[in-house]
Amino acid sequence: MPKSRVPVIYAISDSLGETAEMVARAAASQFDGDRIEIYPVAYVNTLSQLKEVIEEASRQNAVLAYTLVVPEMRQRLIEMASEYNVNIVDVLGPMIEALASHSDRPPKLQPGLLWQVDEQYFRRVEAIEFAVKYDDGKDPRGLPLADIVLVGVSRTSKTPLSMYLANKRLKVANVPLVPEVPLPRELMEVPSHKIIGLIIRPQQLNAIRTERLKTLGLAPNASYASLERIYAELEYAETTMKRLGCKVIDVTNKAVEETASHILDTIHHKGDRHGGV
């Protein structure tokens, strides 16, 4: 570790260390931060590592900011810092203690949980972007990459379901089933346990499509909403789903959340048998 005559801060952590470093830099900015050297030291998980950092901080007369959450490590740091006369700042401890006093649950005291949460956030964003990119069969190349592929006729909630499940960090693509449009080759390559077929009763689909046409300012008696057309599409969809060998869910009178819950139960059950989704 380099030595310097300018003020020095060691920012140590039992995880990535970015929190301690960020606080140190924020404080340093109040004192011409470019003249203060900050050395982040991540993943300090053993007493020997801890002692090495404290000895170096002592030699440089440095301030030591830390975000250690394991109680034993924090206690040993306090003891060794006192022994070596090192000025220490507990960045995380006071906030954990304050929250513990206002909570009916003890803190987990596990390093790295913040970054696990962030990882989940980024996975959610990635899944949402995936759902948008591969919505409505726009690009069949995404089908083999999906955790789930929804298939069904128009207005069976494929897009809302894709977005809802994306918020559960699942990559979902969906493909509309139209008798006149050939199935994408990539769909036939997707394992059947990853495909969910959505069906609906003809009368409800008729009502939904009729309302949709009104919203668009079109005549409600268009072929799109006719029962004859709907029966033909649903028959084609059922034949296709049998061909795909997929699970079929009836979405009639079901909210998106209810259907999504059914899908999640289905894939978790199948994931146990197929080694995960």
Tens of pLDDT, residue by residue, the chain (277 residues): 444 456 899 998 887 767 888 888 888 888 865 678 888 888 888 888 899 999 999 999 999 999 888 888 889 999 999 999 999 998 887 777 777 777 777 766 665 555 555 677 778 889 999 999 999 999 999 999 999 999 999 999 999 999 999 989 999 999 999 999 999 999 999 999 999 999 999 999 999 999 989 888 888 889 999 999 999 999 999 999 999 999 999 999 999 999 999 999 988 766 554 545 5
Give the residue ranges of DSSP H helices in the chain: 18-28, 47-59, 71-83, 93-101, 113-133, 158-166, 202-215, 227-244, 256-274
- Domain co-membership, 161 together with 226: yes
| Identity at 180, one-letter amino acid code | E
Query: Which pLDDT score is estimated for 252?
Result: 97
- Domain co-membership, 66 together with 201: no
- Domain co-membership, 265 together with 133: yes
Does residue 2 sit within a domain? no
**Spatial separation of the C-alpha atoms in residues 76 and 70, rounded to whole Å:** 10
Does residue 161 sit within a domain? yes
- Domain co-membership, 216 together with 158: yes
Distance of CA 136 to the CA centre of its chain: 22
Does residue 3 sit within a domain? no
Domain of residue 55, residue span: 8-111
Query: Which pLDDT score is estimated for 2?
Result: 45
- Domain co-membership, 194 together with 226: yes
- Domain co-membership, 131 together with 258: yes
- Domain co-membership, 96 together with 184: no
Does residue 199 sit within a domain? yes
Residues 6+ apart with CB under 8 A from 79: none
- Domain co-membership, 98 together with 128: no
Predicted TM-score (pTM) of the model is: 0.60
Report in angstroms the alpha-carbon separations of 29 from 26, 32, 162, 265: 5, 6, 45, 51
Token pair of 263, please?
A: 């899908």
Domain boundary among 82, 111, 140: 111
Query: Which pLDDT score is estimated for 1?
Result: 45
- Domain co-membership, 99 together with 211: no
**For the chain, what is the domain count?**
2
- Domain co-membership, 158 together with 22: no
Does residue 86 sit within a domain? yes
Domain boundary among 111, 139, 159: 111
φ, ψ dihedrals at 150, nearest 5°: -95, 135
Does residue 117 sit within a domain? no
- Domain co-membership, 156 together with 232: yes
List own/partner pairs for 112-115 with CB under 8 A and 24 or more apart: 112/14, 112/15, 112/16, 114/15, 114/19, 115/15, 115/16
Does residue 25 sit within a domain? yes
DSSP states of 42-109 as a string?
A: ----SHHHHHHHHHHHHHTT-EEEEE--SHHHHHHHHHHHHHTT-EEEESSHHHHHHHHHT-SS----
Domain boundary among 85, 111, 137: 111
Token pair of 270, please?
A: 């199948």
Does residue 262 sit within a domain? yes
Query: Which pLDDT score is estimated for 4?
Result: 44
In this structure, what CATH number is given to the domain that contains residue 63?
3.40.50
- Domain co-membership, 231 together with 164: yes
